Each structure stands twice: as structure tokens, then as C-alpha cells.
Amino acid sequence: MNTSWGRSLFCIVIVLGVTFSPLNGAWGAGPTKIRLHLEWKIGGQHAPLFAAKELGFYRERGLDVEILEGSGSSDTVKLLANGSVEFGYLNALMNIVGRQRGIPIVSLAVVDQKTPVSIISLKESNITQPRDLLGKVIGANPKSTTYQILEGFLLKQGIRKDQLTIAPIGWGVEPLLSKQVQALMAYTNNEPPLILAKTGQVVNEILVSDYGISLYGITLTTTERFLQENSEASKNFVLATLKAWRFAEENPEKVVEVFLKLRPEQERATAMATLKASFKLHHSDATAKGGPGWQTEEGWAQTQDVLQSIGLIQAKVDKLSTVFSNRFLGQ
């Protein structure tokens, strides 16, 4: 090819905004850009998302996905609302709160079918059930929703707050390891695997979902507008992400290997433990019937009931059918 002619053709292509695909030998639009904003700092629980990007799960569906580190689901909702990102990896609590505040977001899949919130303690404390918390000091961060969930959990169990001590703490597991507190509000796929990887200790856990706190966990969420204007891209993103999670359950070592390649600052043992701890959250009676990510109005109603009982919302969303859609699931 004449070099000057080739450069001219390249410029024409750029101006027209089209690309040539060597895979199919045809002119066509480039991949759809998707910015995915996480709910929190990047960790092993996010490894399948990076694997989907690196192994081509997104690319083969015509997507160019950028994964952005989060600092809380409330920030993710704000970015969705102002159009700064197309998708959010979002705590289901904020799906309800956002809708209740008039923000038109919609969950297209529930990744974590139950909340990961748990109360953890060292084995030596012998705290294995709610009544064992009586007279104990429980560490909880007042800035975290786990603080309000703890209050709802105690109310559900008939435990008065004057029967124990709730100690306000910051982030991290040091207050538990240094025995400043005897129990700690945590996430089952975060702090327990972190402690295991760092110290070799297996902690006791009281999962709040086992004691009447029925909440969905992480969701794949977008806005009504993006969904309406980009239905095919939305479907492809959801299906590629769920494929990545299925692949991760079958190939955790491969997924962590890819994750560490892209995020070398992460520790292998912690990433692996965190990833494997996440698997147990993905399955429920609903997913057994409808497939990965399946969500029900009953599940969202229970989530909303808990939110109202702990004071995070005053009024309920009028139509829960606007909160979620299964249109791309079960395929």
C-alpha cells in the first residue's frame, strides 16, 4: 500500500468515526464504552470483572469496559445519576434509597443474593450465636450501613443495646485482632478472608441473613435512560459479567492469576480467599429456578422492609417493579 494513501485513508476513517475489524473483514462501529464504578476499593471479590476484561468476555460482545474503584455505593449512585458512568456495582440498599429519592436506577442482576454483613469474632471468644453477644463489646463504624444493620439485628433478636457495648471504630480489623473489641461488624467476603490470609486464624461468624435480616447484596445497576437507549449493550454487559462469575467458580486460580497480572499490588492469598468467600453469596432458591443473578419482587420487598425498620428510608418505593428487571437473565 502507498504510505501516503494509507495515512489519508486512516484519517478518513477517524473522521467518520468507524473502524475496520480484521476479524470479520468489515467496516463497522467500534466497541461500546462501558464505565463500571465499583462499590468499594478493589479486592479479590472483583477479580472476575478483571478476568472478563482480560480474557475477552466483554470484548467478544462488543464492549470496552473500564473498571473504576469505588468509595461507597452512595457515590456510585451519584455518578450514575449524573451520567458519569454507565453501570454500577452497587449495594442493594442504595438501589432502594436511590429510587426512594427519585433517581431512576434499575438493577439488572443481583450478584450477591444475600447480604454479606456478618458479626465476626476470634475463636477464643466463643461467640457463635446472637445471645453470646450479651455483655460483649462490638466494634462498628458509624459511617457504615453495617452500624444501622447491627441495630436492626439486635432489635430482631430482642437484645437491648444496654445489654452490650457498641464501640465506634474506623475501618479495618485491628480492633478485633488487638482485642479492643470482642466482636466486629464485617462482610463475610472481606474481613474473614483477610484475617485468614494475614494471620491464619479462622474466625467465628454470625451471618445476619441467617437471623431474619433479609437483604440483597451487590447488584449490577444502570439507569433507565441508558437501558432504554442501549438495550443491546446492557444485555451484553450483564451476560458477560455473569459468565465471568461462573468461570471464576470453576477456575478460581486462573481468575486470580489474571487479576494479579492487572493489579499487582494485590496479595495472592487475600485475593483467593476473598474470591472464594464470595461464591457462597451468589446462590439462592431464586437462582436455582431462574439462573444466576435472578431477582424477585419478594426479595426486594424484604430488602426494603429492613431498610425501613432501621430508619434508612422513611417511605417505601411505590412500585418495586421499577427497581429491577430480569429481562436479560435466564438466557
Output the 3-class SS for the chain: CCHHHHHHHHHHHHHHCCEEECCCCEEECCCEEEEEECCCCCCHHHHHHHHHHHCCCCHHHCEEEEEECCCCHHHHHHHHHCCCCCEEEEEHHHHHHHHHCCCCEEEEEECCCCCCEEEEECHHHCCCCHHHHCCCEEEECCCCHHHHHHHHHHHHCCCCHHHCEEEECCCCCHHHHCCCCCEEEEECCCHHHHHHHHHCCCCEEEEHHHHCCCCCCEEEEEEHHHHHHCHHHHHHHHHHHHHHHHHHHHCHHHHHHHHHHHCCCCCHHHHHHHHHHHHCCCCCHHHHHHCCCCCCHHHHHHHHHHHHHCCCCCCCCCCHHHCECCCCCCC
| Spatial contact of 170 and 142, defined as CB atoms under 8 Å apart | no
Among residues 138, 282, 151, which one has the least CA distance to residue 204? 138
Closest CA to 239 of 285, 293, 280: 293
Let me know: does 89 contact 110? Beta carbons within 8 Å.
no
Tens digit of pLDDT at every position of the chain (331 positions): 443 333 332 333 333 333 333 323 333 568 999 999 999 999 999 999 999 999 999 999 999 999 999 988 889 999 999 999 999 999 999 999 999 999 999 999 999 999 999 999 999 999 999 999 999 999 999 888 889 899 999 999 999 999 999 999 988 999 999 999 999 999 999 999 999 988 999 999 999 999 999 999 999 999 999 999 999 999 999 999 999 999 999 999 999 999 999 999 999 999 999 999 999 999 999 999 999 999 999 999 999 999 998 888 889 998 999 999 999 998 7
Output the nine-digit C-alpha cell for 35. Answer: 464505565
Q: What is the pTM of this model?
A: 0.87
Give which of 173, 233, 220 is closest to 31, Cα–Cα: 233
Domains, in order of start, for the chain: 22-113+216-322 (3.40.190.10), 117-211 (3.40.190.10)
Other C-beta atoms closer than 10 Å to the C-beta of 89 total 23
- Nearest-CA neighbor of 96 among 280, 310, 326, 293? 310
- Between CA 76 and CA 221 the distance in angstroms is 10
